Amino acid sequence: MAGEPLAVLSAAEAARRIREGALTSEELVGACLERIREQEPKVQAWTFLDEEHALAQARAADEARREGHPVSALHGIPVGIKDIIDTGDMPTENGTVLHKGRTPRHDATVVASLRAAGAVIMGKTVTTECAYFTPGKTRNPVNPEHTPGGSSSGSAAAVAAGMVPLALGSQTNGSVIRPAAFCGAYGFKPTHGLISRHGILALSRTLDHVGVFARTLEDLALAAEELAGYDERDPDTRPRARIPFQAIAAEEPPIPPVIAFVKTPMWERAEEETKEAFAELVQALGDRVEEVELFPSAAEAWEWHKTIMEAEMAANLEREWQSGRGKLSKTLRELIERGREIRAVDYQRALSRIPPMQESFEELFTQRYDAILTPAAPGTAPKGLGSTGDPSFCTLWTLAGLPAVSLPLLQGSNGLPLGVQLVGRRHFDARLLRTARWLVARAAAAG
């Protein structure tokens, strides 16, 4: 272990050592807490953290192992939880003063799954207000004058800063992929419906996804394998066999993948530096990458996404709007007011565009391409903490429910990470991670 601080071990490696008795959960959690004490004044990733409670869970995990109880995949591993995800033993305040002191009685399904896999629930990470645009206190760990992105600001920053190896976030537009890109973490937003959203602040049934942050692709696979699954309390999950995420993600692709480089109609928003970096990356990847123009209706996705998100958020935040709109930010209040005016026919029309769009993507993936390569954001994390940046490079994939991963492969001239986004076929999440692993290796070899 010499030379490698415990806090920045990958989850997979730490779990291996704990399983083998070479490391205790208490040592690992202790090292993470020390890292937090050191970094938190700068980063401000946490909204709730009880050191003693975290250590108590770690000690219980160590005790269970010593007593010969079965040791699961995340045994003793600390995980940060975005503060819109319910925890039965910690407050969950959803980033709004309206929910100050809110203490749910039950764990969200994903938290229960993590506990069942042996994880230590480290604490609650900062979210923007109701996972929308108004920032929390978190700063970018690479440069605290820059935004960490949002809405999963604290989860992305905590993982990137080495405070925890894993954290949960959520994405309704670009709330996992963008902060992962801005902070330099790996971020994974799986296929819509793969991971249950029961017990999580509902903004938009159509668009809400649970996502994961880690510092390696292997760790994304490790977490996804525990989190994916049917939950009768989330009507968009489906009964299916357990997906061997880690095994598939670790495989070599049987034949080298073919990647579609897609600029999307948002390309004009990309910074010059981003355009140049992608041109170089595409060239470095050589004949395995082809530039592809999407079917024409893809250009309308941003409008449909806006209609659906506004209409569904207005419905889901009705109680907050009715009883406390004076305590909501202007941005959120205006979103809800727009959403309240949307007609049911227009909302349904927007919903009805999703399945044909998914079919068009299905064609693209089955006919030739293993994944789509596209920016995660227009550029590096913008300076200032008043905004969390532009999610528009994520909108299309979120609307279509396609799995996406943010890969910290590039860097801007300001030294901040520049995220690469890889998007896969629906329900082929593990294969997307396999393709991502191939891409990372190939980019490293070329670079």
Q: How far is the CB of 10 from a second copy (least distance, A)?
A: 36
Closest CA to 213 of 252, 259, 180: 180
Q: How far is the CB of 239 from a second copy (least distance, A)?
A: 7
Nearer to a second copy, 249 or 342 (CB): 342
Closest CA to 158 of 12, 74, 32, 30: 32
Q: Are 422 and 373 in contact (CB under 8 A)?
A: yes
Q: Which residues of 392-406 are buried (b: 16+ CB within 10 A; e: fewer)?
A: bbbbbbbbbbbbbbb
Q: How far is the CB of 312 from a second copy (least distance, A)?
A: 7
Nearer to a second copy, 239 or 296 (CB): 239
Q: Are 77 and 11 in contact (CB under 8 A)?
A: yes
Contact footprint for a second copy (CB under 8 A): 238-239, 311-312, 314-315, 318, 339-349, 352
Give the integer Cα–Cα distance in Å for 338 and 303. Answer: 13
C-alpha count within 13 angstroms, C-beta hemisphere, residue 355: 4
Which residue is associated with the tokens 């937003």?
Answer: 189
Q: Which of 25, 72, 82, 152 is catalytic?
A: 82
* 82 assigned to active site: yes
* 151 assigned to active site: yes
How many CB atoms sit inside 10 A of residue 14's CB?
28
Give the integer Cα–Cα distance in Å for 92 and 173. Answer: 21
Q: Which of 113, 151, 152, 196 is catalytic?
A: 151
Q: Residue 24, Cα to own-chain centre: how many angstroms? A: 28
Q: How far is the CB of 344 from a second copy (least distance, A)?
A: 4
* 413 assigned to active site: no
Q: How far is the CB of 131 from a second copy (least distance, A)?
A: 18
Residue positions annotated with a catalytic role: 82, 151, 175
